[in-house]
Structure 1
Amino acid sequence: MTGRPVRAVLPESLRAGLGLIAAFAALVVVVLGVRYAGHGEPGRVDRWLVPPTADSVRPPWRHVADALDFLGEPAGSTVLITAVVAGCLLLRRPRAAALVVAGVGMTVATATLLKHLVGRTIHGGGNLSYPSGHTAFLTALGFIAALLATGRLGLSGTAGTSLVFAAALVAGAVMGWAEVGLGAHYPTDALGGWCTALAVVPVTAWLVDRIADRPAARTAGAGRRGPR
C-alpha cells in the first residue's frame, strides 16, 4: 500500500456536467435512429451538407482520410488502444487503463448494436451505416484521454468539462470528416456516432469507479470494525 488516494477516472466535479451532456447525446442518438430507421438514402440534412456517396476527398487529403479510417479498423484500433493502455500502466494508472478498454469497447459495441436495430444502409442494402462506429471509436478515445488529462492538470467544474467536450468534438469531427469524405457514412451517421460516445463513456467511467472502489470500501469497513 502506498497510502496515496486512488484517482477517480470520473471526478465528482465533472459528473453533473458530463451527465447532462450524456443525457442529451443519448436523446439525439434515439431521435436520429428513429428518423432514419430502415432508410437507404441520404436525408435532407445529409444532402445539404455534402453528397455523401461522392467520395469527395482527393490527394493529398485522401491519404489523411485513409489513415484515419485505418485507425478505426480492427488492426489500427488494436494498435492504438494497446499503446494508450501501455501508457496508462507505465504511469501506474490501472483504473485509467481499464476505462480505455471498457469505455472504447462499450462504445463500439453500442454502435454495432444500434446499426442492427436501426437498419440504415448506404451503397445498397448490405452496408449498415447508422451510427458511424469509426466516429464513435475515436470520439470515445479522445473523450477518455481528455478525461484523464483533467485529473493530471487538476481541472474541475466548467474548465474540466469544457476540455473533455472540446477533445471529443475535435476527435469526432476529424473522424467524421474522413468517413463522410470517403463515402463510408452519411453526415448524420457521423453525428450519431459522436453522440453515442458522448452518451456511453461517462456512464462507463462511473461504473469503472464504482467497481474499483468496492474492494477499498470493504477493506476500510473491516478496518473500522476491527478484530472480534
Structure 2
Amino acid sequence: MGRARDTRPAVPPPVRGWLGPIGALAALAVLVLGVRYAGHGRPGAADAWVQSAAEGVRPRWRRLALATDFLGEPLGAAMLLAAVVTVCLLLRRPRAAVLAVAGTGLAVGATKLIKPLVGRTIHDGHLSYPSGHTAFLTALALVVALLLAGRLGLGRTAGALLVLGAALAAGAAMGWAQVVLGAHYPTDALGGWCTALAVVPATAWLVGRTTGAGRRERR
C-alpha cells in the first residue's frame, strides 16, 4: 500500500486536463503585461486606481501586510516551504514535495529572469515586474491545493475550484500586501500570479516525466 502511494502523480488526473491550458494562458498574460509595461517607471491607469484605494490603510492592516510580506522573504519562505515539504513526506507524497521545491523555486527564478528583460522600475530604479513574492506564495498554494485535491479524490470541477481558489486567495493576499507596502504596482502582482500559474503546471509535467509517474500511475 505504501508503495502505491509513493507512485501517485503530483497532479491528480482529473485536474491535469485543464491545468495545462490555464498555464499557457497565464504565460501569454505574463508576456502581454511585460510588453505593455516594459521600461516604465510609473504606474499605469489601472495601477493608479488600485493604489489610490489601498493608500492610507490603518496600522493594523499595515501590520498584516508586513506579516504577509514576510512569507515571501527568504526566511519566511524557507520556513513555509519546509513545513509543506514535511507534510508531503509525512503523507508519503515525495513527488508533491519535489513539486513544492521545484515549482516555487522555478517560479521565483522566472521572475528574476523576467525583471531585467522587462525593465519596469519602482522607487529609485528597483526592478518590479513581475512580483517574486506573489509568484512564490501562489506557486506554493497551487502545490498544496493539488495535494489536497488528490488526497480528497476530487473530480474535475471540484478540483478546479479548489486549486484555482487557493491560487487566487494566495495571489490576492500577497499582491495586496505588496501594493499596500508600496513594493510593487498591482500589475506586478498580477504578473507574479500569472508566472506561478504558468510555471507550476510545466514543472509538474517535468516532475512526472523525470520520475516516470505517468507510466506507473495507479488508481
Please list, as runs of the form range in 1=range in 2, the aligned pairs for 1:1-228 lying within 5 A after superposition: 2-4=2-4, 6-51=7-52, 56-125=56-125, 127-213=126-212
Q: Which amino acid aligns with 1:177?
A: W
CA RMSD of aligned residues (A): 1.9
Q: Which amino acid aligns with 1:139?
A: T
Q: 3-state DSSP class of the match of 2:10?
A: coil
Q: Match of 1:224?
A: none
Cα deviation, residue 165, structure 1? 0.5
Cα deviation, residue 213, structure 1? 1.2
Cα distance in structure 2, aligned partners of 1:87 and 1:14: 21
Q: 3-state DSSP class of the match of 1:131?
A: coil
Number of aligned residue pairs = 215
Q: 3-state DSSP class of the match of 1:130?
A: coil
Cα distance in structure 2, aligned partners of 1:112 and 1:202: 19
Cα deviation, residue 10, structure 1? 1.3
Cα distance in structure 2, aligned partners of 1:120 and 1:13: 38
Cα deviation, residue 148, structure 1? 0.6
State the Cα deviation string for residues 157-214 of structure 1 (Å, max 9, x = none).
1221221011000000000000001100000001000000001101101111111117
Cα deviation, residue 63, structure 1? 1.0
Q: Mean Cα displacement is larger for which, 61-70 or 156-165?
A: 156-165
Runs of at least 4 residues off by over 3 Å: 54-57, 214-217
TM-score, length-normalised on structure 1?
0.89
Compared CA separation, residues 151 and 184, structure 1 to 2 (3 A): same
State the Cα deviation string for residues 100-121 of structure 1 (Å, max 9, x = none).
0000001000011111111100
State the Cα deviation string for residues 50-106 of structure 1 (Å, max 9, x = none).
249x86433111111101111101111011111111111112111111110000001
Whether the aligned pair in 2 keeps the contact of 1:55 and 1:183 (CA below 8 Å) is no
TM-score, length-normalised on structure 2?
0.92
Q: Percent same amino acid at aligned positions? A: 63
Q: Mean Cα displacement is larger for which, 148-157 or 206-215?
A: 206-215
Cα distance in structure 2, aligned partners of 1:199 and 1:210: 17
Cα deviation, residue 44, structure 1? 1.1
Cα distance in structure 2, aligned partners of 1:65 and 1:198: 23
Cα distance in structure 2, aligned partners of 1:45 and 1:160: 31
Gaps (5+ residues) in structure 2? none
Q: Which amino acid aligns with 2:9?
A: A
Whether the aligned pair in 1 keeps the contact of 2:134 and 2:171 (CA below 8 Å) is yes
Q: Which amino acid aligns with 2:101?
A: V
Q: Which amino acid aligns with 1:10?
A: V
Whether the aligned pair in 2 keeps the contact of 1:108 and 1:137 (CA below 8 Å) is yes
Whether the aligned pair in 2 keeps the contact of 1:57 and 1:182 (CA below 8 Å) is no
Q: 3-state DSSP class of the match of 2:59?
A: coil
Whether the aligned pair in 1 keeps the contact of 2:208 and 2:214 (CA below 8 Å) is no
Cα distance in structure 2, aligned partners of 1:135 and 1:40: 20
